[in-house]
Amino acid sequence: MTELERRYARWTALFYPAGYRRERGSELVDTYLSLAAPDRTRPSAADVADLAVGGLRQHLRVAQDLGAGFRLAGVLALATLAAFATGWAIFEAVVPWAPWFPHRGPFLSSLGVPVWAAWLLAVVVHVVAPGRWFRWAIGLAVLVTAGVVPAAMLPGVHRPPLFVLLPQLVLGVVALGAAGRQPRRVRLMPLAAAAVSVPVAASTAPRFVFSGDFYYEAAPTALPAAAVTLLIGGALLAFGLAARHDHRGAWALLILLTPIGMLALHPLSAMLDDSSAGRSIIPVWSHMVTAAMLVLTLGLVSMPLAIAARGRLSSRGRPVHTAAGRCPTCGAPSAST
């Protein structure tokens, strides 16, 4: 075995599922060797990228329920952010002002209103136009949510805190999975979640008094409660579907772990705080940043690991076949047939 062949074999072992390597690994390496220049001693960057894309395609082909799981996670994420957008909008309008607080206006946070309105618009668009228009609506809501952060630097302008905006952004990204054709009852679920949150928010809001820190009082309770609800609901759904040999619930739960972690930033950050008695409601800012980075890192790492593990489990005792006359790398029709 030449050094170039050994390097191609290493990249193939890194990117491709074990079953596919046993079935087509040698053929794949021979294909790249036949196309390589005679004096080449290592794979080119283009070949490595091609191997990576082909390996990802084979992993996704093995994880057949991943796409359905992403759609399921998208619906659950959209329902969650719909409930929050409705609840926060009602709080903005209903919570009474503290007599000593100088700011006055129709809403508590001048930049919070367009944020919640943008997300509610996306929920409505999902019902009537769940395809391209819904994706545009989600993109608009993400831009508005991210844009209020620099806009709040203007004097006299208020915005919701970052630990409220960040879960909404992450939920919005996952909610893109809800795009596409869905049964009407599924498309109405986020709208129903928004409707259910109306009486809850309307009855709870008058108990608070706004004096510049309203979100800091309500969010530490509301966000972790939503995280627990989403976690339990996703787990029950995953177990129920798994009983019928349907793994989309497990994929949906895995995808939702990152937004669940963002919703639970307060208790996760408190675990990094060495104080016990008299611990503040809002953890130290640096601890919240650390917790958010850990949640994001675990979310980005867990999905590729799960896809790779699924490929290994599926390949045991079962060869992976490629259609005759097609390229073993990309699945395109072969020119030699």
* Tens of pLDDT, residues 239-275: 998 888 888 888 899 999 999 999 988 888 878 766 5
Please report the DSSP string for 203-272 in residue order. Answer: HHGGG--BSS-HHHHHHHHHHHHHHHHHHHHHHHHHHHHHTTT--HHHHHHHHHHHHHHHHTHHHHHHHT
Res. 286: pLDDT tops 60: yes
- pLDDT tens-digit map of 288-335: 888 889 998 888 888 777 776 766 665 554 444 444 444 544 444 444
- ∠ CA 194-91-167, nearest 5°, is 60
Indicate the helix (H) or strand (E) that contains 161: none
CB contact burial 7-45 (16+ within 10 A = b; e otherwise): bbbebbeebbbbbbbebbbeebbebbeeebeeeeeebee
Q: Which two tokens stand for residue 201?
A: 């928010």
Residue 117's pLDDT band, with cuts at 50, 70 and 90, is very high
Closest CA to 173 of 259, 253, 87, 60: 259
Average pLDDT of the chain is 79
The pTM for the full model equals 0.72
**pLDDT given for residue 97 in this prediction:** 58
**Would you kindly state where each structural domain of the chain is located, as residue ranges?**
3-62, 66-263
Res. 38: pLDDT tops 80: no
- pLDDT tens-digit map of 42-64: 888 888 888 887 777 776 666 66
Q: Which two tokens stand for residue 156?
A: 């006299």
Lowest mean pLDDT among 34-43, 177-186, 222-231: 34-43
Q: What is residue 64's three-state secondary structure?
A: coil
Residue 290 dihedral angles phi and psi, to the nearest 5°: -60, -45
Residue type, 85: A
**pLDDT given for residue 330 in this prediction:** 44
Mean pLDDT of 228-242: 92
Closest CA to 144 of 125, 109, 175, 117: 117
Mean pLDDT of 112-133: 91
Please report the DSSP string for 2-38 in residue order. Answer: -HHHHHHHHHHHHHS-HHHHHHHHHHHHHHHHHHS-T
